[in-house]
Amino acid sequence: MASAAASRIKAGIVGGTGYTGVELLRLLSQHPQVELTAITSRKEDGMPVADMYPNLRGRVDLCFQTPDKAALEDCDVVFFATPHGVAMSQAKTLLDKGVRIIDLAADFRLQDTQMFERWYKMPHSCPDILAESAYGLVELNRSRIAGAKVVGNPGCYPTTVLLGLAPLLEGGRKLVDTSHIIADCKSGVSGAGRKAEVSTLFSEASDNFKAYGVAGHRHHPEISEHLNALAGGPVGLTFVPHLVPMIRGMFSTLYARILPEAMDTDFQALFEQRYADEAFVDVMPAGSLPETRSVRAANQLRIAVHRPGNGDQLVILVIQDNLVKGASGQAVQNMNLMFGLPESTGLTHVAILP
């Protein structure tokens, strides 16, 4: 296994034609400790990556290959930017060759296999590997990720909700009413992936704003599983996602009722102290109103804490780029931790404006 001190990390990507795949390519092609080794696509076998994504011209010289041609077993780490079910079908073969795995789909996010099978409509094919995997939200699970061979990268919505609520719930804190928390969340269209679908056509998604998954969304059980673990008991969550007419960006507004015994708590200070040493979580000054454009193309999550009228309602505003901190950037952050590198290596890009 390569180490950061000995040599560059050989990285492969399974499923490199989608938005998270190209975002991984963008980040890894600039990473000082990574050598891109393989990129797979069954449909685009033989096509130069730069022909599909011209922004990578002069940066990535690889061609897409079918999985059976790609030298995945020669890699130190393989990222799966694929539909659910692909990573778990290949996990054992790669692990037997000493390859570490970071899955950007849901195969290793939920420890409850029955819940996984209910929401993803497929059996879990390697529950033994799942049991040894780590949930890849670094700010909550750093020590486990560092020693893991398999990491399940969190979903984009769960990243905002979990980091937005963690300071209120960790260690069984009795600060808010955990029986009724609301997560009102909005995502750009890229969160739906690159597949052709009527609902994401320009003329359908532009100049429009809609809710979806109100009756149930597959990120809900993922969020609930980890909120329950944080709080040390059941957390009642109402989660409503929305599609907004922009390409990148995610904005989650979280509502929690302050308990009578916690009315004197300085919540701004609580959040600032919790994330003081986190490179990619920015707790903004009191009264701030974050904008999604301030994190566009950056691995940054920003939080603003509000308490209207100094009453008993807490409002937490959380923003991120759904393709970076919400997906590929977080995956690279996990890789850095797994290979003993500083977490910010290759991830210090400043957000782009306008």
In the chain, where are the structural domains located?
A: 9-152+327-338, 157-325
- What's the whole-number average pLDDT of the chain? 95
Q: Which residues pair with 260 in a beta bridge?
A: none
Catalytic residue flag (residue 75):
no
Considering only residues 315 and 203, tell me which one the structure prediction assigns the higher pLDDT: 315
pLDDT band at 7 (very low <50, low <70, confident <90, very high): confident
**Fold entry, domain 9-152+327-338:** Rossmann fold (3.40.50)
How many Å is the Cα radius of gyration of the chain? 20
* 60 has a pLDDT exceeding 50: yes
pLDDT recorded at residue 38:
96
The residue with tokens 């950061």 is 4
pLDDT in tens, 242-269: 999 999 999 999 999 999 999 999 999 9
* 5 has a pLDDT exceeding 60: no
**Poorest-confidence range of 49-53, 193-197, 230-234?**
193-197
pLDDT recorded at residue 228:
96
The mean pLDDT of 165-189, rounded to a whole number, is 96
Residue 159 CB burial class (10 angstroms; 0-12, 13-18, ≥19): buried
Query: Is residue 342 helix, strand or coil?
Result: coil
Q: Which of 63, 75, 126, 156 is catalytic?
A: 156
Q: Work out the percent of the chain whose per-residue pLDDT is above 70.
A: 98
Considering only residues 196 and 211, tell me which one the structure prediction assigns the higher pLDDT: 211
pLDDT in tens, 142-161: 999 999 999 999 999 999 99
* 133 has a pLDDT exceeding 90: yes
- Reading the block at residue 4, the tokens are 């950061």
* 322 has a pLDDT exceeding 60: yes
Which stretches of the chain are DSSP H helices? 19-28, 49-52, 86-96, 113-120, 127-132, 138-146, 156-169, 202-205, 219-231, 267-274, 329-338
Considering only residues 193 and 5, tell me which one the structure prediction assigns the higher pLDDT: 193
pLDDT recorded at residue 16:
86
φ/ψ region of 200 (left if φ > 0, alpha if ψ in -120 to 50, else beta) reads alpha
pLDDT recorded at residue 1:
45
The mean pLDDT of 194-223, rounded to a whole number, is 91
pLDDT in tens, 80-115: 999 999 999 999 999 999 999 999 999 999 999 999
Residue 164 near residue 230 (C-beta atoms within 8 A): no
Dihedral angle at the C-alpha atoms of 148, 227, 87, 194, nearest 10 degrees? -130
pLDDT recorded at residue 194:
82
Query: Is residue 120 helix, strand or coil?
Result: helix
pLDDT recorded at residue 6:
53
DSSP code per residue over 62-108: -B-B-TTTS-GGG-SEEEE-S-TTHHHHHHHHHHHTT-EEEESSSTT
pLDDT recorded at residue 3:
45
CA distances from 53 to 46, 61, 284, 298, 321 (A): 14, 11, 35, 19, 20
- Strands of 181-187's sheet, edge to edge? 210-211, 237-243, 181-187, 250-257, 313-320, 301-306, 281-283
**Measuring CA to CA, which residue among 157, 178, 63, 180 is closest to residue 109?**
157
* 4 has a pLDDT exceeding 60: no
The mean pLDDT of 21-32, rounded to a whole number, is 97
CATH architecture of 157-325: 2-Layer Sandwich (3.30)
The mean pLDDT of 271-277, rounded to a whole number, is 98
DSSP code per residue over 230-277: HHTS---EEEEEEE-SSSS-EEEEEEEEBPGGGTT--HHHHHHHHTTT
The mean pLDDT of 177-194, rounded to a whole number, is 94
The model's pTM is: 0.95
